[in-house]
Structures are given as C-alpha cells and as structure tokens.
C-alpha cells in the first residue's frame, strides 16, 4: 500500500535538516597541528589521535612526535592513545595548535614485551622477563653495549673484568649468577639470530632489550637456554616523512684510580728495609741516597761547566715518576651518529651510520717521530639498514643489514711478551723508580712528544737487565700491533598473514648470513740493548753493548674468517573467543658455523613450540618446549627434549580488588621447566677417542709407527640439564609505584667433569680418562625491582628506579676424593661456591697477626713446612692442631669471585626544557686473590704502593703504630702464600652515570629547519667507593692487578633532529 507524507510534516522535516546544516556551518572545520611528547620532552612516535564520533578521521605522530589532523570540527574531542601511556581526551575548543604531554600508565607501561621469538602483552606474561629502557642506556658513553648494561637489569651482572683498553673491553655477563663450571655467558639474540657482537652494537640503533631468566621464557632455546637469554631488537621505520637525527659526543677519559708511587728516595729506603729483613746488605748506600736527595751536592755554582754537570747529575740521579710521565691526564673520545627513518604505506626504513674514536690513556710518541703509531686506540665504523616492504595485504618482506669495521691499535707485545698485552702494560706502569733514563724523559715541560727532547738514536733506550727496561722504550720502540675486525649481519624474511584461512594464523620465514673477518698487522722492532755504568766516585757514565740486534724492523701478518648461516620457520596463531584468548607457536631452526677450513663446522638443529591461554585477563597458562640436537654429542645422545610450564593470576582484575585505589595492580606467577647447556669448555666431540699415529718407539723391534693415546671418548656424554623454579609477583601501588619480585632456584646436573675418584694405579693416565656428566650445582636467589613515576604538573616529571639481585651457588657433586681426617677441610670444591679461594688463615689475635722475636724464640711455636718465618711475617693458624702449618691447614678464604649482590638505582627529572639523570651501580659480596706485581712488594726489584709504606717494622710494632702490611722482603716469603690477607673484598659502589641536558624551545628552531635540539653534559664511572678494597691504586672491578686500568669519562654533546 502506498503511503504519503502530509505537507506540514514534510515542511517540519525540511526545517529540521536545514537547522542541522546551519549548525554545521557555524561549527566550522579546522586543520589542527601539534606535537606529542612524554614528560621528558622526548617526542613520541606513532601516537594515535582519533576524532571521537568520526572514526574515519585520525592520524599518528611522526618521528618528531608531530601530527596533522585536517578538516576537523572546531569543537571536536580528540582521543589520544599510546602503548604504555595514559589515554587522554582533548577538547579543541576552536584551537588550531595543541601540544600534548602524555603520562606513563604504570598499569600498561611496557604493555608489549619481547619474548622468545615473539611478543606478548605484559599483563599476560608468566615468565621472568626484565627489560631496560634504551633512553637510559644512551646516557652511557661506553664503546661496549654490554658494559652499558651494568646494574640496569635485575638478575644481570655485567662486569668489565679486563679493564678499559680500547677495543679489548669485553664484559663478562652472568644472568642470575653462575650454575656451571663450564660456559656461563647467556645466549644473545640480535633481531632473532644468535650473535655474539653485542660489544660493537651502536646503542642508537637499538629499539629494545629483553632479558629472559626462567625456564618458561627460555625452554624454546633447548640446549642453549640454561644460562638465560638476551634479546636485542633493532629499530625499524614507520609511515611518515623522512626524519633525520644526528648525535655528536666529545668525551675525555682518565683512569679511575692512580697509584701514589714513591719517589726515588722513598723507594730506596723501602728497598733497603726489605734487604735488611732478609739479612742482606743495603741495596743503596747513604752516599747514593744523598745524591738522589740532592743531585747537585758538591758542585760549584761558579764552575763554568756547572750547567752541563748539573744536567748530567739530575739525569743520573732522577726522581722520575714514570707513571705520571706515561699516563695522559685526559684522553679524547669522539662519537658521531646519524640515523634516518620514515616510510609510506608500502615501505618503511631505518638507517644508521656511526663513527667512534677512542684514544688510549698512555702517553705514546707521535707517528712523526717513530714513523709508525704504537698508541692504544680504537676506530669503529658502523652501519645498519632495516627495510620493511608490504608486498600484498597478506605478505610482508624485510631485509636487515648491519655491519661494522673496527681497527684496534696498541704497542707490540710480541717481541718481549709473547703477545700478552697485560704484561706489557705492567712493565709500563709499575717499573721501579730508579731506572736510569737513557731516554732521559722530558728535558722540557713540553714532554716526550717534542722531537728535541729525544735522542736521535733509539738504541739508547734500553738499559741494563730486565728490571731496568725503560718504560718509554717498552711502549714506543718495540713496534705496533693493528687488529682490523669486520662483520656483516644480514637477514631476509617473509611474514604471511594467513587470516584468510583462519583468523589469527600467521607464517614467518627467515634466512640470515653473517660474515666475520679479522686480520692482524704487526710491526716488529728490535733494538740493540746498551748497559750503563756509573762510576760513583767520578760520576762518569759509560755504555757497553748488552745485546746487539742487526735486523731492526720487520712486518708480520695473519688473518682469519668465519661465517654463520641461520634458517628459521614459524607458524603462529593468536585469537580471542569472548573471554578466552589462545595462542600458539611452532618453530624450526638450523644454525651452521664455518671458520673457512681452520675448524670443523658447527651445526645445531632445533624444534620448539609454545601454547598460551588467557581467560578474561585474569588467569594465564603457558607451555613451552624445545627439542634440539647438537653435534657435540654422539648420535644416540644428540637430541633432547626441554619442557616448561607457567601459570599466572592477575588478582587485581578480580571483582574484589578491581577498583582498589591503593593496590592498583597485582599479579602472581610461577613456573618450572628444564633447559640445557651444550657448552663444553671449548672442547668438541668428546664422545670420540683421541688416537693419533706417532713415531716408532726407541729400543723397539717394531719398525712401524707408534700409536699415541690421548683423551678417551665417552659416547654417553650429553648436555647439562638445568631444572629451574621461579615464583614472581608484579604490582603497582596508586599507579605511581611499580614493583616486581622474583624468587628462584636452579638445580644444574650432568655438568661435565674430569674424573678425580679413579685411582692412578689402574694404568691409564688420569688426564686421558673419559670426561663424564657427574657434576651438580645449585643456585638460588631473589630479585627486586621498584619504580616510581610521577608527573607533578605540566612542567615537572620525576622518575626513580631501583633493582637488587642476589644469588648464591653451591657445588653439590664434583667427583672429589675426600682428604683424610688429618685435614681441617676434607673437600676443596664440594659444598663451596664456584671460584672459592683457599689459603691460610692469619691469627690476628697473636701479636696482631705477626711474628715477633719473642714468639719466634718459643720452642713450642708452630712451624711451617714451606719456609721459616721471620719477625713481622704472618702468623698462620694451625687448624688441625698438629703443630705444623701445611696444606692440611688451608681453609676457605673469601666467598668466591662472582658477585652475590648486584644493584642499581637511578633518578631522573624533567622541568620545562631541562632534564637531569643520575645512576648508581654496585656489586657486593665477592672477592679475589691478587698475587701479581701491583700487589706484592718483591716482584722484579721491588714495587711499592701506599700500604707498603707502613709495613711491619720492629720500631713501628713497639710504638703501637698502624701496620698495614707484613715485613717487606726482596723475594717470595712465607707471607706470599695464599692467605686471607691477599683475598681482597671487592665490594664497590659507583656513581656510574650522570647527565644534565637542555632542549631548546621548538619555536626558536623553526627558522633553522630543526625540529629538536638538545645539549648535554654527562659523566661515566665518576666516583667509586670500595672501602674494604686495600689496594687503593687498583679498580676493584678489574680481575688483574697488572692489566689496563678502568677509565672515567666526561662528555658534552648535542642531539639534533631535522
């Protein structure tokens, strides 16, 4: 039936629509622009802005945080959202320009977390995973990313044990301590590929770093996951116009500790003191000492030759502080970085180039003088390009390229030191103070670097015997060593969205090829050695040839290379059905390493999987497995299965706690699983017998070849197995305070050991007995992370973070044969931590721990079977009470050389354009025995440091004066046996980093075409407190008392964005 509308109603409808149209005219549309930043005034990239009520209108911010919304109603409301930030609704109220500052939402902060071969919402993560902000890492000026991680991640201990030599500053990393006596470094993945070049990564190209700690997070890595995993993801581009960022930093470094070396007279008195303690004649007579005290004594100022004679006297009786002359007060370091990103809806890109120059802290001579460069220095050039291309709606391709070339230069350690750089550094820094300066050192204040201050003939640089080598000669005149290292990392992958088959299904494939190269060029210089003789009566100086060398200079060269190929395939599924969210992953991987024929290639094949379940964001469950094969083992033992399971409960999402204003988030987690470790301490194929053919045996009737039997194989060898337990709590209080607590335990079994309990009389040398999987070690501890984020007002933001980690390991089974009952301690490894030191305990209750003439005269005193003590020597405890101090009385000294505590704390604030950051880092409860030059007093001809100056003497003891060291000696004495005095507590607390910055107002930069410009000052390793560490001239982080020292770095620089 046909319907008609009355005319009056039609007129009313027309009037109504005209009114609506007129409102549209009066509410005019506008174009809105502005910037979105965080509370630190850093631009936020990819922030989503939507016009409420008009879903088709929206945009995202570009690389500078800038956005443009076109044709928007002037009275519209704009919804602003970003992962990890509190959602905002902005009313335009006719404004055309708005700048938005977003606050961090502590409940959603780091909502998406990088996990093993994927990402998960943080609320659903059930494993023990920690992340670190790359903004915090950029404060570090360390050339090594691994060293920059120190103290920043709960559970990760990163130590610069080898010192600060340019290009040789690798970090030793422990993830939750150590649970094995074999390889302890965690597995490192860079963009999903196992790679070990973390030291050379430019922090400006890193997007995120995740640390996987428990079995539920690492089980998919199977035989390589027991020591934990670091996942590093590099930056990628996003849709938007090209954005360029340039960073320039100029730094200057100095040593963190400088020894207070004695002057010549003080040195001679200490040396004479040591000679007297050993019953020897003084090394330096009073006449000689007087000449060093006053080299000009006896000279007539009116003598026409006074000046020349005075110069010779000063030259022959110097008071040289070689340390001061050889060490630069400040050494330069320059870092330049530029990166560009952008893209369209089809293709996006990120590119980064960087240059680093790190100068050494040794005061070497110039290339103009030597014709070669012996200086310590590092030059590194780096490049990265990550490109994503959307081939179709359902397929994406990507290509990642990363490369670096670095040149590491240093003096040549090969001529005299067999390539050992530490011994070269030792001789440079700690030579005795009375070396005759045949290269007399600086004759003017300009120093060694002035050609006129040096003899033209370099043969006059080496004087006397080993102990008299000139440090100038050691560092400059042996030649140079140049290592050139190169690396290319490449990955190509395809991602397929198979939602057309079923929603949530995806397929990924990747192939990577990495090439590494290294070559060493060495210039070897040989010098004729001269020996100097000084007539003490006439001061006449003569030289004689000590060793004549004809070939003055020659070159040597060596090179090596290797390449890695990695193949991966993944099938992924993730879908939500009402309150139920399920996910899954199946994955296969193949690794292949080849060293170009110098070693047998290395292969690893693996399969892994994951299944996740989430009910209403309240209850979570996850199961992971890894099934891996390693050719380290026999075919029968090559593959292993490593499962894990984890559960979680978001208590705060329950109705009884959901609206609690104080406890705004609470989640409980628990996990258990098995993971493996196939690192065998560098050895390979230990399941095979080491049998080789050798020469015939002398005296034998057989004319054929002989057979040499080496280490016997064990076909039952397998990987180490780690049973890991973890319980965790995540919480936030009033949305401003966040925290995480982890309690963990690991039982490591099947640790590879050499047999100790098999008797030698069975015939086969113990060194040839097959290795076995017998060792067991437990490791347990806890971790605490706390954070406080508060935006006080639109101008002021503060952030406080802190973390504390504790771990303690114990060796349970080590196949150790117990010693007999006469030993005070029957075991030396079983029941004790890894790295436990053993030695003699000093009896501090007996005369302060030192023998005196009276106590030595007591016929009932204990005796030593390793020497006879003298007055001032240490009194050791006779623990077994048999009257003799020997190996049976050794006891555990210290607690091991792996820190049990690691902690860090940072504070940052931003007010308007100003920002400040400070970071403290510390290590505690670990120690080491130092027994090299730089610790003992007797090495070579004596090296003395502050605590030697108040060594035991009869007079000092009788007067009750402070004594800091036993009686000095000229050679090894009973004092220098391993004992509790020389096990130094290495607890340290550092002001690791600070930075002060200022960002110029954006309006003042527009004319320059600059969108952001920040200036800053910062420092690294600024101050170090280590009150229990007695060698005040050493840095407690260094393992070696004679290595290249640690450095403090102070910098200024700028960040510019276009």
Q: What is the pLDDT of residues 859-887, one digit of tens each?
A: 999 999 999 999 999 999 999 999 999 99
* pLDDT for residue 297 is more than 90: no
* pLDDT for residue 596 is more than 80: no
State residue 601's pLDDT score.
82
Q: pTM of this prediction? A: 0.84
* pLDDT for residue 440 is more than 50: no
* pLDDT for residue 916 is more than 90: yes
State residue 529's pLDDT score.
61
State residue 811's pLDDT score.
96
* pLDDT for residue 13 is more than 70: no
The whole-number average pLDDT for the span 35-58 is 81
317 pLDDT band, cuts 50/70/90, is confident
Strand ranges, E, within 925-1045? 927-929, 983-985, 988-999, 1012-1025
State residue 857's pLDDT score.
94
State residue 63's pLDDT score.
74
State residue 702's pLDDT score.
54
Calculate the CA dihedral of residues 262, 268, 270, 271 and round it to 10 degrees.
130
The whole-number average pLDDT for the span 415-440 is 56
Highest mean pLDDT among 94-103, 256-265, 525-534: 94-103
Under DSSP, the state recorded for 760 is G
Nearest to 447 by CA among 626, 354, 618, 327: 327
For residue 521, the cross-strand partners are 482, 557
The two three-digit tokens of residue 829, written as one number: 């490894």
The whole-number average pLDDT for the span 1050-1058 is 94
List own/partner pairs for 285-289 with CB under 8 A and 24 or more apart.
287/536, 288/536, 289/265
Point out the least confidently predicted range of 345-359, 518-532, 712-726, 765-779.
518-532
- In tens, the pLDDT along 322-348 reads 777 778 889 999 999 999 999 998 999
The label of the residue with tokens 């610069």 reads: 160
* pLDDT for residue 762 is more than 50: yes
The whole-number average pLDDT for the span 247-251 is 96
Give the phi and the psi of residue 404 in degrees, each rounded to 5.
-150, 155
The whole-number average pLDDT for the span 686-709 is 69
* pLDDT for residue 781 is more than 80: yes
Q: Give the span between the Cα atoms of 52 and 69, in whole angstroms.
A: 13
The two three-digit tokens of residue 954, written as one number: 């009869």
429 pLDDT band, cuts 50/70/90, is low
Highest mean pLDDT among 37-41, 263-267, 804-808: 804-808
Point out the least confidently predicted range of 20-24, 197-201, 243-247, 701-705.
20-24
Residue predicted with more confidence, 1002 or 204: 204
Q: Give the span between the Cα atoms of 691 and 701, in whole angstroms.
A: 22
The whole-number average pLDDT for the span 679-694 is 79
476 pLDDT band, cuts 50/70/90, is confident
* pLDDT for residue 23 is more than 50: no
Give me the sign of the Cα torsion angle 768, 769, 773, 775: negative
Give me the sign of the Cα torsion angle 429, 432, 435, 437: positive
Q: Give the span between the Cα atoms of 865 and 48, in whole angstroms.
A: 79
Residue predicted with more confidence, 228 or 679: 228
* pLDDT for residue 914 is more than 90: yes
**In whole numbers, what is the pLDDT of the chain averaged over residues?**
85
Q: Give the span between the Cα atoms of 972 and 964, in whole angstroms.
A: 18
* pLDDT for residue 206 is more than 70: yes
State residue 790's pLDDT score.
87
Nearest to 812 by CA among 780, 838, 781: 780
- In tens, the pLDDT along 917-962 reads 999 999 999 998 877 667 888 877 788 888 899 999 999 999 999 9
State residue 418's pLDDT score.
63
Point out the least confidently predicted range of 54-68, 499-513, 843-857.
54-68
- In tens, the pLDDT along 73-92 reads 888 889 898 866 778 888 88
State residue 19's pLDDT score.
45
* pLDDT for residue 434 is more than 80: no
For residue 928, the cross-strand partners are 984
State residue 810's pLDDT score.
96
416 pLDDT band, cuts 50/70/90, is low
The whole-number average pLDDT for the span 780-790 is 95
62 pLDDT band, cuts 50/70/90, is confident
- Which of the four CATH numbers 2.60.40.1120, 2.60.120.10, 2.30.110.10, 2.60.40.1930 does domain 7-102 have? 2.60.40.1120
State residue 530's pLDDT score.
59
Nearest to 895 by CA among 804, 828, 834, 811: 834
Q: Which residues contact 675 (CB under 8 A, 6 or more apart)?
A: 215, 218, 219, 221, 222, 225, 226, 626, 642, 644, 721, 722, 724
The whole-number average pLDDT for the span 10-37 is 59
* pLDDT for residue 10 is more than 50: no
- Tell me the CB-side half-sphere exposure of residue 390, using CA atoms within 13 A: 13
- In tens, the pLDDT along 109-131 reads 446 788 888 888 888 899 999 99
Residue predicted with more confidence, 846 or 17: 846
> What are the boundaries of each domain within the chain?
7-102, 264-318, 343-569
* pLDDT for residue 374 is more than 70: yes
The label of the residue with tokens 């602003």 reads: 80
């Amino acid at each position: 039936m046909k319907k008609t509308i009355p005319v009056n109603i039609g007129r009313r409808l027309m009037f109504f629509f005209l009114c609506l149209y007129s409102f549209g005219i009066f509410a005019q549309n506008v174009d809105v622009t502005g910037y979105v930043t965080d509370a630190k005034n850093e631009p936020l990239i990819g922030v989503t802005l939507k016009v409420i009520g008009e879903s088709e209108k929206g945009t995202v911010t570009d690389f500078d945080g800038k956005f443009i919304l076109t044709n928007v109603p002037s009275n519209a409301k704009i919804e602003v959202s970003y992962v990890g930030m509190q959602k905002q609704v902005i009313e335009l109220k006719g404004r055309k320009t708005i700048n938005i500052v977003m606050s961090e939402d502590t409940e959603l902060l780091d909502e998406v977390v990088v996990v093993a071969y994927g990402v998960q919402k943080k609320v659903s993560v059930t494993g023990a995973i920690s992340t670190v902000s790359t903004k915090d890492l950029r404060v570090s000026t360390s050339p090594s990313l691994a060293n920059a991680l120190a103290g920043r991640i709960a559970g990760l201990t990163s130590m610069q044990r080898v010192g600060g030599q340019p290009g040789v500053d690798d970090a030793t990393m422990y993830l939750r301590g150590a649970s094995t006596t074999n390889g302890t470094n965690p597995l490192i993945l860079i963009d999903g590929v196992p790679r070990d070049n973390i030291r050379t990564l430019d922090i400006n190209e890193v997007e995120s770093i995740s640390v996987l700690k428990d079995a539920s997070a690492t089980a998919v890595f199977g035989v390589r996951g027991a020591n934990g995993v670091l996942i590093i993801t590099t930056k990628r581009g996003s849709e938007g116009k090209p954005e360029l960022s340039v960073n320039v930093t100029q730094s200057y470094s100095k040593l963190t500790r400088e020894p207070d070396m004695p002057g010549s007279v003080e040195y001679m008195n200490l040396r004479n003191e040591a000679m007297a303690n050993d019953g020897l004649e003084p090394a330096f007579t009073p006449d000689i000492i007087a000449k060093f005290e006053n080299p000009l004594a006896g000279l007539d100022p009116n003598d026409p030759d006074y000046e020349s004679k005075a110069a010779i006297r000063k030259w022959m009786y110097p008071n040289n502080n070689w340390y001061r002359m050889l060490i630069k007060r400040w050494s330069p370091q320059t870092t330049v970085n530029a990166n560009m990103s952008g893209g369209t809806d089809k293709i996006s890109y990120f590119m980064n180039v960087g240059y680093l120059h790190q100068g050494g802290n040794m005061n070497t001579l110039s290339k103009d003088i030597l014709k070669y460069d012996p200086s310590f220095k590092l030059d590194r050039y780096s490049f990265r390009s990550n490109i994503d291309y959307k081939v179709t709606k359902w397929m994406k391709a990507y290509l990642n390229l990363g490369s670096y070339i670095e040149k590491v230069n240093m003096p040549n350690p090969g001529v005299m030191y067999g390539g050992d750089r530490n011994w070269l550094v030792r001789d440079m820094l700690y030579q005795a103070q009375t070396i005759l300066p045949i290269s007399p050192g600086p004759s003017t204040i300009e120093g060694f670097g002035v050609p006129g201050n040096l003899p033209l003939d370099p043969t006059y640089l080496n004087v006397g015997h080993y102990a008299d080598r000139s440090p100038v000669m050691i560092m400059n005149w042996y030649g140079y060593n140049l290592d050139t290292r190169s690396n290319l990392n490449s990955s190509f992958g395809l991602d397929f969205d198979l939602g057309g088959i079923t929603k949530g299904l995806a397929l990924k494939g990747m192939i990577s090829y990495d090439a590494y190269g290294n070559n060493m060029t060495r210039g070897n210089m040989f010098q004729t050695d001269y020996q100097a003789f000084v007539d003490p009566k006439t001061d006449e100086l003569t030289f004689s040839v000590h060793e004549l060398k004809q070939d003055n200079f020659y070159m040597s060269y060596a090179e090596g290379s290797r390449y890695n190929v990695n193949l991966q395939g993944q099938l992924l599924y993730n879908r939500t059905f009402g309150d139920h969210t399920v996910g899954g992953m199946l994955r296969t991987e193949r690794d292949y390493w080849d060293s170009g024929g110098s070693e047998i290639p290395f292969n690893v094949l693996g399969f892994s999987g994951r299944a996740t379940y989430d009910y209403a964001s309240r209850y979570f469950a996850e199961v992971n497995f890894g099934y891996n094969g390693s050719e380290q083992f026999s075919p029968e033992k090559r593959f292993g299965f490593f499962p894990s399971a984890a559960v979680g409960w978001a208590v705060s999402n329950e109705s009884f706690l959901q609206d609690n204003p104080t406890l705004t988030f609470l989640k409980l987690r628990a996990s258990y699983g098995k993971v493996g470790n196939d690192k065998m301490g560098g050895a390979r194929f230990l399941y095979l017998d080491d049998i080789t053919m050798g020469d015939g045996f002398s005296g034998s009737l057989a004319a054929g070849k002989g057979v040499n039997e080496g280490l016997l194989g064990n076909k039952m060898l397998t990987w180490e197995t780690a049973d890991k337990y973890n319980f965790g709590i995540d919480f936030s209080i009033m949305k401003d305070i966040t925290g995480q607590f982890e309690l963990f335990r690991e039982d490591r079994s099947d640790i590879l050991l050499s047999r100790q309990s098999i008797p030698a009389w069975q015939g086969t040398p113990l060194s040839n007995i097959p290795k076995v999987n017998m060792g067991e070690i437990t490791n347990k501890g806890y971790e605490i992370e706390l954070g406080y984020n508060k935006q006080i007002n639109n101008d002021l933001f503060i952030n406080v973070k802190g973390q504390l980690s504790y771990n303690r390991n114990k060796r349970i089974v080590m196949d150790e044969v117990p010693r007999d009952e006469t030993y005070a301690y029957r075991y030396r490894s079983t029941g004790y931590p890894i790295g436990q030191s053993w030695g003699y305990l000093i009896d501090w209750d007996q005369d302060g721990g030192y023998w005196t003439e009276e106590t030595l005269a007591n016929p009932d005193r204990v005796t030593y079977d390793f020497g006879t003590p003298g007055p001032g020597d240490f009194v050791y405890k006779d623990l077994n009470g048999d009257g003799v101090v020997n190996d049976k009385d050794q006891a555990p000294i210290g607690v091991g050389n792996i820190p049990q505590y690691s902690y860090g704390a940072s504070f940052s604030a931003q007010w308007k354009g100003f920002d400040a950051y400070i970071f403290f880092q510390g290590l505690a409860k670990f120690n080491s025995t130092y027994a090299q030059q730089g610790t003992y007093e007797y090495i070579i001809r004596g090296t003395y440091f502050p605590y030697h100056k108040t060594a035991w003497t009869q007079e000092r003891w009788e007067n009750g004066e402070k004594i800091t060291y036993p009686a000095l000696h000229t050679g090894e004495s009973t004092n220098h046996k391993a004992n509790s005095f020389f096990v130094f507590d290495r607890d340290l607390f550092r002001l690791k980093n600070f930075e002060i910055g200022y960002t110029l107002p954006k309006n003042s930069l527009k004319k320059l075409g600059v969108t952001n410009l920040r200036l800053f000052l910062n420092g690294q390793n600024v101050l170090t407190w280590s009150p229990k560490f007695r060698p005040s001239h050493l840095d407690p982080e260094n393992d070696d008392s004679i290595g290249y020292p640690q450095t403090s770095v102070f910098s200024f620089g700028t960040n510019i964005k276009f």
